[in-house]
């Protein structure tokens, strides 16, 4: 049969295919850094993106996948704590949207994350005390309000507010309720007195090694080394520089914790983790001098943590992240021309 005149010859054009390795690297690039290609989603998905970025911004990370990993690590530690942290982030973010503040980078969510988690950590009522949602929602609603008020003051010196709203609100809640409140009682905060073991002859080297990720996890009030490891993985996904300074800060803070219990618990390290990240990985240009400055700030923050813990225990209050805010602001004010590399918090 002869071909009909209605048919024409079909020509195929073979375009050079993209190398497989380049395609994989480009796909991975969409999930690292700040995940900017994923920013133009529909509103409902964008809200989830804002919330996850808010969780990640506790560690100065602007990556929703990192926030999801951190949230998974929190559930690994304690689902009740993680649920309160997720609720706090959501309420704080929605409250900021209602106030018409910018929320796309999660900058109004991270204080709510800490308020929600630490409120459940410090509660003497134990896990799954549902009435705790009431002060959690109330205080997290106030997070953007306090943040906006503090920003009006700190912008005069061109410095960020860090976690000052969290410190103010959580200390206000603990001081108002105390250990005898019938509904929202808190754990007792006392100064450790008596003779403590400072001999290193019976030191558990395995526990000392695990204290580094534990120090990272203590930023969220978690003492599970697996949680700290997941958080470090989330930091590595977004920024290896931030991950490195988190490990450096935790080790520097723990180096000054002489009693064994202080070393193993990681409570000397978490403020140094945040300070070292802020100075070495976020707000200063990355040079070898910056690494030295970040390490110096981490050691200074460890001293400040010890002093602040003793002073705050007199008032039956935890140290929270007051040492981090104090030490980091001092080191940022060393120079008037420091450079912001990531986001102004």
Over residues 93-114, mean pLDDT: 82
Whether 46 and 178 share a structural domain: yes
Domain that holds residue 211: 207-334
Q: What CATH number does the domain containing 241 carry?
A: 1.10.3430.10
Average pLDDT over residues 258-287: 86
pLDDT at position 195: 47
The pLDDT value given to residue 6: 44
Counting the structural domains of the chain, the total is 2
Residue 131 lies in a domain: yes
The pLDDT, as a whole number, for residue 11 is 42
Same domain, 164 and 211: no
Average pLDDT along the chain: 83
Position 105 pLDDT exceeds 80: no
- The predicted-structure confidence for 44-63, as pLDDT tens digits, reads as follows 688 899 999 999 999 999 99
Provide the pLDDT for residue 190. 62
Give the C-alpha distances (Å, rounded to integers) separating 72 from 47, 61, 189: 18, 16, 29
Q: Report the C-alpha gap between 62 and 234 in whole angstroms.
A: 11
307 versus 342: which is more confidently predicted?
307
Domain co-membership, 132 together with 215: no
Q: At what angle do helices 240-254 and 225-238 cross, to 10 degrees?
A: 140
- For residue 21, being part of any structural domain is answered with no
Give 134's pLDDT tier (boundaries 50, 70, 90).
very high
Mark whether 181 and 258 lie in a shared domain. no
Residues 232, 324, single domain; the answer is yes
Structure-token match 């290609």, residue found? 37
φ, ψ of residue 265 to 5 degrees: the values are -75, -20
Co-location of 46 and 111 in the same domain: yes
Do 211 and 76 fall within a single domain?
A: no
DSSP alpha helix (H) spans, the chain: 20-29, 43-56, 64-77, 79-98, 110-122, 133-154, 164-177, 205-217, 225-238, 240-254, 260-265, 270-277, 288-314, 322-332
> What pTM, to 2 d.p., does this model score?
0.83
**Whether residue 180 sits in one domain with residue 61:** yes
Q: Which of 206, 293, 210 is nearest to 245 (CA)?
A: 293
72 pLDDT above the threshold of 80: yes
How many other β-carbons are positioned within 10 Å of the β-carbon of residue 327? Answer: 27
Q: Which residue has the higher pLDDT, 191 or 121?
A: 121
| 180 and 216 together in one domain | no
Distance CA 211, CA 225 (A): 7
Residue 102 has pLDDT above 80, yes or no: no
77 with 161, same domain: the answer is: yes
């Amino acid at each position: 049969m002869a071909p009909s005149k209605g048919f024409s010859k079909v020509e195929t054009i073979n375009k050079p295919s993209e190398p497989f390795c380049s395609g994989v690297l480009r796909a991975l690039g969409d999930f690292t850094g700040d995940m900017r290609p994923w920013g133009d989603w529909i509103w409902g998905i964008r809200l989830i993106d804002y919330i996850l970025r808010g969780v990640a911004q506790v560690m100065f990370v602007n990556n929703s996948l990192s926030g999801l990993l951190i949230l998974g690590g929190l559930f690994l530690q304690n689902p009740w704590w993680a649920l309160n942290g997720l609720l706090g982030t959501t309420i704080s973010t929605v409250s900021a949207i209602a106030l018409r503040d910018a929320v796309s980078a999660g900058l109004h969510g991270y204080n709510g994350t800490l308020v929600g988690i630490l409120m459940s950590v410090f509660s003497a009522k134990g896990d799954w005390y549902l009435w705790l949602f009431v002060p959690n929602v109330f205080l997290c609603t106030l997070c953007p309000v306090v943040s906006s008020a503090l920003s009006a003051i700190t912008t005069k010196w061109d410095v960020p507010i860090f976690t000052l709203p969290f410190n103010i609100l959580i200390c206000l809640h603990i001081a108002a309720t105390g250990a005898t409140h019938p509904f929202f009682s808190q754990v007792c905060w006392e100064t450790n007195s008596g003779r403590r073991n400072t001999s290193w002859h019976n030191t558990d080297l395995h526990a000392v090694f695990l204290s580094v990720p534990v120090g990272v996890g203590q930023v969220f009030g978690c003492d599970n080394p697996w949680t700290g490891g997941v958080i470090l993985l989330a930091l590595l996904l977004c920024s290896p520089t931030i991950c490195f300074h988190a490990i450096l800060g935790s080790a520097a803070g723990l180096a000054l914790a002489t009693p064994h219990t202080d070393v193993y618990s990681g409570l000397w390290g978490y403020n140094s983790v945040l300070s070292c990240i802020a100075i070495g990985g976020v707000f200063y240009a990355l040079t070898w001098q910056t690494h030295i400055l970040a390490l110096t700030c981490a050691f200074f923050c460890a001293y400040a943590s010890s002093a602040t813990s003793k002073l705050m225990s007199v008032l039956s209050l935890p140290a929270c992240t007051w040492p981090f805010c104090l030490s980091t602001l001092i080191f940022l004010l060393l120079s008037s021309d420091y450079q912001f590399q990531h986001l102004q918090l």
